[in-house]
Each structure stands twice: as C-alpha cells, then as structure tokens.
Structure 1
C-alpha cells in the first residue's frame, strides 16, 4: 500500500493450523535484501486488527499481509499487499483451479533444490536413502530413552515417552510434564475412575461448570469433581495451567482429556512394561505385527469415554475406541520399538536387537500428517501417500526435513542436502554432519 514493489520469491508453505496462513515465505520489498517470514491472508485490510493478529504472538513473524481490498490512507503493520485489482485471471477461473488436484502440487520452480537429484535416483536407492535416514531417527530416539533411563529408570522413561506420544504435536510438552510427576500422583491402590479424575484434575482440563444440557456428561463431571475436590489441595503443586494446552485444528478423538482417560486405563491395569517385553519376545508373522501390538495395548470399553469425545460433549451415536491402529503405529515407531531396542543394546542381546530392528524396518506406514505431506511435495514432487510404504520411510523423510529443511529457508539457501543426494549411489552414507548445513 505504500507504493513499494513486492517480489514473492517463495510464497512459503500453507499452514492449516493456528497462526499465519503461509509459513516460511521469502519476500523482497523494493531493492532491499530478501526477507524470510510468514504471510497472512485476509479478505479486508482491517482484518489484521479485527481478528486480533496484532495481539497474537503467533503472528509476530508476519512480513506481509495480503488482502483483497484495503484503505490506502490507513497505517498497516506489517506491510500490506492488496490483490483485488492484480489478478491475472477471472475469479471464477481461479476458483475452479483451486478446487482441482493441480492446486495441491507445488509449481516446479517452488520445489526443493533436492527434488531433481531425488527424482533421478532409482526407486531402490531412494528407498535405501529414506531407510538410512529413518535409522538415524530411530537410534536418536533410542539414545534419548537411554540417557533419560539413567536418571529415572526404564519404566518411568517408557511412561514419559507414551504420554508425550499421546500429546501429539501440539500437546506433547504438557503430557510429558504430567508423566514426569507420575511418582507423585500414582498410587497402586487407586481404581480407574479415581485415577482418571486425578489426571484430569492435575492436567487443568477439568471444567468448572456443568453443561446444563448433557445429562450423562454432567453426571460424569459430578463424579470426577466428587473425587478431585478432596485431593486438589494435596496435588496443587502438580496442577498445570490450562493455557499450556492447544486445541486448534485438533480432531475430537485426539482431545487430551480422552488421551488421559486412555493412559489411566493402562496405568490402572498395571504391568504394561512387562506386557511389551512379552510381546517383544514372542514371534509373529510380519503381516501380524501391528495387529499383535494393537491387541497387547487394547483396553476394555470405557462406560463414559467410549461414548464421548470430551467431558462436555454430547453422547455419540456409536461407541468409539480409545485406541486406534494409527495411534498404535505412532507409539510403536516413536516409543515402544526404540525403547525395547536400546534395552536390548544395554543387555548386549544382539539377536533381540536384530529382531526389533526388523520390526521397525517393515512396520506399516503411519497416518499421514502435515510434515509428511509437505516433505513429499517439496522433496519428492508428489502429494501421493503411496510413495512412502513403511513407517521407516516416513521417519526417514521426517528426519531429512529436520536435518536440512529446518536449517535452511524456502529457497533452500545454503542447504547441502542436494549435494548429499548427488553423491548417493552407494558412495556416501546419510549424514547431516558429512555435508554440513
């Protein structure tokens, strides 16, 4: 709006979560050096303040506010670009294109610099590269469990990993924080309802008021409060502030209240580490591995949580399991298998190490997520999920984005991964240290 020319060197990456619409863009204003930051898109220029972006720290890195219309006399922070009169095609045509499959793909000139050498790799070599990067990630997780176990023991380390995994991306930290205080709040004689009430109370997620509309939910909430009010003073130093939790863009089934109810089932039943060790020692056909772990982790139906997404939600038409196959896979590749493997390393049991390693290598692919979608498009030039057939390949792609993409910008400035790929024909191992950033 101030008359400067604007060059979008890279639009960044669409974010479907809270915060700016595009992350990691590269923009040049006039003759100034290019800047990296986020882009927010609104219909009207006054949306910046009307939507509270100026008061939200998540928007602190926005370098360009793109709007359909705007007031040239107003003062905008950050710089604003009004595009209503700048389109190169009618709105109807653009709308038709946005609903097509092509809109999901990055243009060729916006792909990562590594996409060309990756595309030239034979399929077997690409799979080999992804698997080796996946091994780096697997062993890094195992090393973290090993280091933590020296402080708190193997069982506590397992519970911290499980809680963190149940927190998903947004709530991993508060879930892990709860697990770190497990010795404080878990007692052997506590029944399942009391343990659920205690976890919900300590988490800070317990509503203070009834819905007045959901009879079953209100009845459950009264029972939880009957338990929690007696002991909340005793555990006051463990209670987390509700502001630690994030709910934006979260599936109802993944709500932390429901995940805590699931964790309470495992804790109440007891002997989970022993069950996992027994599963590890048993022999299963490859195609039955995921099912066998699912059965090991399965719990009984919950009178309340099988029928509700949250404490205040209406009763569901059909019961929903607290644990699904996708969550079992995430637990397997991120927690259970690396935890079991590093214990075998500590025990110098090479046969068991090899068995666990094999399970990781052939484990079916996990549920798709935003990191994998972006990695497939940016590095592999495809949005197709079938490109990654195993969880190990998915873990490898995530590791590559963490090792290289996270240390560069959208135009791949100073990224050395393309050099690694070009040398990848059996001559060089995957190593971020080997090529630098």
Structure 2
C-alpha cells in the first residue's frame, strides 16, 4: 500500500461514502474533498467535511497509518494545525493537536471494495519493463493523445530550467543562450558539457563581431577547446594559433583550462574538430541567427539555416597534420533533427513564454514534422504496441518513461488512471 493510492481514493471518492464513520463512531459526510496541491503541508486544501452534526472547513492529511503523523513530526508543524480530518488506511493510534484536542480519523480500509484493491494490485504487479506494458494497447487514442500533449510540454518545461539558468549567467542575452545550447548539441553526449563551457568562455559579443571571418571563429573555438595547445607543423594550425593569440589579446579573454576533447569511440564525422568547424560555419553563414530561429515556423526554414559543412581545410582532414580524402562533411538531416528537438523547440518555447505568447500548437506542428528518434526506450514502447510517428511522439514517451514509469507514478499518469477504471 502506498500513499499515492490513498490520495487517488480520496480525490476521486473511490470508496463507499454512504456510511462513513470516524474511529470514534461519528458520522462523516464529504461535502468537498478539497484541492490536491502536492506541495509542502497537508495533502488536500480547503476541504469541507461534516462530522457528527458539525460542518468543518479545512485541510485533510492522508497517511498509511495514523502513527505516521508523529513519524513525520506533524505535531510540531503549524501548517498541520488546520487539519480537520486524518484519513488513513490503518488506524493504530490517536493523534492530537498542540492544544491536546484529538483530530478525527477516518480509516479507509473498511470502505474500499475488494475489486478496487485488485485493480490497483494488478496495475502495480512488477513486469519486465513497466507495470502496464501488457495493457498499453487497450488504452483509447483520445486518452493517449491528450496525455502525450501534456507530457510533451512537461518535458519542455524541464528543458526550460537550463535555459533560465543560462539567461541568468548571460545577463538575459538570448543570442548567447542559443549559442551555448547549440554548442552543447554539437558536442553530443561525449563532448556536450565541454562544448558548453567553451561557448560560455567566449563572450557572444566577441563571437558575433568576428562572425564575418570564418578562420577567426574557428580560432576562438579550437583555441578554447585546447586543440591549439600542442605545436603542429600544419600551416592551417599555425594560422589558427596566430589568430587565436591575437584575438585573446585583443579582447582580453580569460585563459580557460578544460579537459581534453574526446575523439575516442566517435565516428570520424563526429570528431570534435569537425563539429566545431560546422558550428563556426553556422554562425559565419547565418547572421542574426536567434531572430531567424525564433521566427521559424516550418521545418524547411530550420533545415535551411543549418545547411552547412566544414571549412576548406576540414574537407580534407579530420585531425591536424593528417590528410584524408576530400569530403564536404555537411550536417545530416538526422543531426539537424537533434538540434531542432534539443535546442530550437525548447528555446522557442522559453522565449514565447517570456513574452507571454501562446505558441503551443505551432510547436506541436513543428515536432510532428520531425522524424521520430530511435533509442532503446522508443523501441521498447514500440514492441508493446505504442508506435511513434514523429518526434512529438518520441519526446512525449521519453517524458513518460523517465518521469512516471521509472518513478512508479502510475496514479499520476493518465494511462494508469484509465487502467484502474478499465481493469
């Protein structure tokens, strides 16, 4: 038995409410169960209950056992002085307010049907991956689609936290935030955090000012990445090193010491040298990128912004001093899709929210035109009949698995709630 199940029972009155009595034998009538706030303090706020002949308005606290009141030290907390009813599964002790007045207790286990308990136990019986894996296909499309929309925006809200932190660090410079997010994306999982710190170490005003000279952008990125710290014979290396030393002195850039960028386990096209050159090319070819990104209302527009490759040198190299067959090394559509999912949509969402604009339908439409992601979570959902047509679906399912399934929050999940009704 878990408290979230008791919250569910109380919130939706999933028990026999016709003849309720307190542990002391007084009649109980529920006028209003109250608001389920899920915040600090009592579980349900501003409930209305009639106990005996007296009508009460106040808060309701819910526990597995009455004694949990003292286990959680509610007797010391002023917030619980307004509790008018203590709802428990098992009543094992009386509880009192500070003035020694006993708080009425309602023991639920005597009023919940066997069928309701069996439904709950069936839902939470361990399976091979998630609790409801064998029942997912039974859920109607209306419930699933509405829940996906909620999950999608929950995920965007979570991503917005990082954006808000970057806004504080950059003194509310949205262009700088976009630069940082793109840098992290270009670094992928292995070098993402390092690329982010590299971007944070270069004032965006400097990067924007030098954007007309591609070699200068590469010099700044390669220099800050520590890729110019070991002397090479290559002429292009010497050119970048000379430019970096000049720019570092010109703008009085702070010297940054980061860990070494990782080449290990990367395919050559994902080498940090290639990704940094591509990032430099994005800003060299697209002036006022932030404005373009915010105003973009079609996937084609966004693809056009990122139709870039590497500079001439990197077309014939993956590392300094090691020539290779010529290859343009343009950004793939799959890579641009990752940028759209992890940077473009989140920053559009956060910026619109800061401006008080409603663009929810636009964001959903954009994501529905992006190819679905492919990973073990999405593949597993597919094996249980939940197919993904686009990135809107996959982002919603990732939120579902990570924030609900993994945390056993079945009773906060629309699918779990629907299964409790259906089983």
Report the secondary structure of 1:309's partner residue: strand
Give the aligned partner of residue 324 of structure 1: 332
Matched, 1:254 2:288: no
Give the aligned partner of residue 201 of structure 1: 223
Pairing partner for 1:303 from 303, 308, 312: 312
Structure 1 residues without counterparts, runs of 5 or longer: 1-107, 213-217, 281-288, 408-414, 428-437
Larger Rg, first or second structure (1 or 2): 2
Give the aligned partner of residue 423 of structure 1: 417
Give the aligned partner of residue 397 of structure 1: 397
Distance 2:167 2:144 in 1: 35
Give the aligned partner of residue 156 of structure 2: 138
**Displacement of 1:202 after TM fit?**
0.8
Q: Deviations over 1:143-190 (max 9, x none)?
A: 542454354322222112111111212222111112222317536146
Report the secondary structure of 1:116's partner residue: coil
- Report if the CA contact (8 A) 1:221-1:311 is conserved: yes
Matched, 1:373 2:413: no
Give the aligned partner of residue 274 of structure 1: 291
Distance 2:405 2:248 in 1: 45
Give the aligned partner of residue 121 of structure 1: 139
Give the aligned partner of residue 263 of structure 1: 279
Give the aligned partner of residue 207 of structure 2: 186
The 1:301/1:417 distance shift into structure 2, 3 A limit, reads same
Distance 2:157 2:412 in 1: 24
Distance 1:400 1:246 in 2: 32
How does the TM-score come out when normalised to structure 1?
A: 0.57
Structure 2 residues without counterparts, runs of 5 or longer: 1-125
Distance 2:239 2:140 in 1: 60
Q: Determine which structure has greater relative contact order: mean sequence separation of CA pairs < 8 Å that are 6+ residues apart, divided by chain length.
A: 1
The 1:181/1:364 distance shift into structure 2, 3 A limit, reads same
Pairing partner for 1:157 from 143, 154, 177: 177
Give the aligned partner of residue 345 of structure 1: 353
How does the TM-score come out when normalised to structure 2?
A: 0.58
**Displacement of 1:230 after TM fit?**
4.8
**Displacement of 1:366 after TM fit?**
4.5
**Displacement of 1:404 after TM fit?**
4.2
**Displacement of 1:391 after TM fit?**
0.6
Aligned residues: 290
Q: Deviations over 1:205-256 (max 9, x none)?
A: 336254x8xxxxx33223223333556678774433334x344432322222
The 1:132/1:307 distance shift into structure 2, 3 A limit, reads farther
**Further displaced range: 117-126 or 163-172:** 117-126
Distance 2:229 2:166 in 1: 34
Distance 1:188 1:426 in 2: 59
Matched, 1:228 2:263: no
